[in-house]
Amino acid sequence: LMIDTGSGPNIIKENFKPEGIKINYRKILKLNGINDYPVYTLGEIVLTFFELPVVFHIVSNDFPIPQSGILSNEFFKQTFSKIDY
């Protein structure tokens, strides 16, 4: 996963969704700024990190990043983590 503290939602490509995790297809986001046109998410899942539930929005596998997804500023808020460099 790529870290992007300027990104709003956490994102994961559909191929990297763990098996057995149900997608909430009613939670769709419109993402702007990645392309010249808006990209819509496919739904939402909740994964556990550090024993905390973290929301990820599913995008298609052709989403224009080489990584499997994005850990956004929302991840760091939800997990009470910070980047210190």
pLDDT in tens, 50-68: 888 999 999 999 998 999 9
pLDDT in tens, 32-46: 888 888 999 999 999
Q: How many domains does the chain have?
A: 1
In a domain? residue 63: yes
In a domain? residue 84: no
Residue 60 in tokens: 């298609």
In a domain? residue 50: yes
What CATH number does the domain containing 28 carry?
2.40.70.10
In a domain? residue 48: yes
In a domain? residue 11: yes
In a domain? residue 85: no
In a domain? residue 60: yes
